[in-house]
Chain A
Amino acid sequence: MSPDSAPAAQEPDIAAGHAPRPGLPALFLAFARMSLAGFGGVLVFARHAIVDQHRWMTADEFNETFALCHFLPGPNIVNLSMVFGSRLRGIAGGVAAFSGLLLPPTLIMMVLAIIYARFGDVEVLRRILAGISCAAVGLLIAVVFRMMTPLLKRIDAVALLLMLGVFVAIGVLRLPLQAVLLLAMPLSIGATYLMRRKVAA
């Protein structure tokens, strides 16, 4: 039982869950912090910071905004920083959140790149990186598996076929991404539209 859930539900228009709008440095720092905490994915930390910790958005506002960023191309979490920041403080807020998310980890990556360029041939480092690579591929397979589960449960044959087609075209045949997607996207959108109309009818 959360003590503040009842009043929050009664007055949704007064932005019950909202803290005061953050300043630009606060936005920069908040996104820098969630980015540096986010080993292997920033999304979980972003949701925690924005909704639970700072209360800059409600859970619904977060989900709606994230859905938008997910259906647009590009790195989702980067899109999300720009959209969130600009909703809170206009375009300057978007830039502050965007640079907070990217600047500190980019600097870290450049230091790592310099170290790798100098010591990448050192035998011990090569062995460690090889082991990490194996584990990283395993993690990626697990994400694919988790995302596939709902399609398998629904026995969504059209979606599974499209998924297999993209996998073979890109992973096995190594065709260029643009060509494959320019064909696959209209196909998938058309199929989804027809399926939904059939369900609705």
Chain B
Amino acid sequence: MNAENPIWALISTFGLMSLFAVGGAAAAVPEMHRIAVDVHHWMTDKQFTDAYAIAQLSPGPNVLIVTLIGYAVAGIPGALAATLAMCLPTALLAYYVSRLLNRPSQSRWPGLIQAALVPLSIGLMAASALILAQSTDRTIAALLLTVLVAAIASVSRINPLWLLLIGGLLGFAGIV
């Protein structure tokens, strides 16, 4: 980490990233992966996918994967710094914008911008899926499990937690 303060690196990285995370936390995963694994070497590829799995399996917003990244970099202060840097700036922005736009329905621009952002966030989430799949699905059985879960979750309204637990059981049994 050289002379650079890791806490400050976390704050500047995630503070800036949150302002570009259009479409929520899942859309920011490729950028998190690029920064944490490729640029700063804060984590290995395997640690990153583990962090993603832990964040999915835990209660609370899925954006809290940044808590795990922050902890890997600088312990508990790092976890708190990363979480606040990712969550507070855009929450404050949302607060001020919501006060400015007392009647958002009067203008057509919010609706237009929202519609324009939809394809971009889907593209970002698809990129997340590809990057995570490349480090997760290293065996035929693992790839098969991913495809099956994708198919089941696409056509049914089953609670996602069950599918995650089944994945964990298959892993425990050494099948994937």
Contacts and interface: CB of A to CB of B under 8 A. Distances in A.
A19 interface: no
B149 A134 contact: yes
Q: Among A77, A105, A174, A196, which residue has the most Cβ atoms of chain B within 10 A?
A: A105
Q: Among A67, A71, A80, which residue has the most Cβ atoms of chain B within 10 A?
A: A71
Given A38-B59, A73-B18, A136-B52, A130 B160 contact: no
B71 A174 contact: no
A115 to B, nearest CB: 9
Contact of B149 (A42, A102, A139, A160): A139
Contacts of B67: 106, 109-110, 113
A86 B101 CA distance: 14
A40 B164 contact: yes
Interface in B2-38: 16-22, 24-26, 28, 30-31, 34, 38
A21 B176 CA distance: 51
Contact of A39 (B126, B150, B160): B160
A172 B131 CA distance: 8
Contact of B90 (A72, A141, A162): A72
Contacts, number: 356
Interface string A158-174: 01101111110011101
Contacts of A166: 119-120, 123-124, 127
A73 to B, nearest CB: 5
Interface size class, chain A:
35 or more
A122 B115 CA distance: 46
Interface of B: 16-22, 24-26, 28, 30-31, 34, 38, 47, 49-64, 67-68, 71-72, 76, 79-80, 83, 86-95, 97-99, 101, 104-105, 110-133, 136-137, 142-143, 145-154, 159-161, 163-164, 166-172, 174-176
Interface of A: 35-42, 64-65, 67-83, 86-87, 91, 94, 98, 101-102, 104-106, 108-110, 112-114, 116-117, 120, 124, 127-148, 151, 156, 159-160, 162-167, 170-172, 174, 176-178, 181, 184-185, 188-189, 191-193, 196
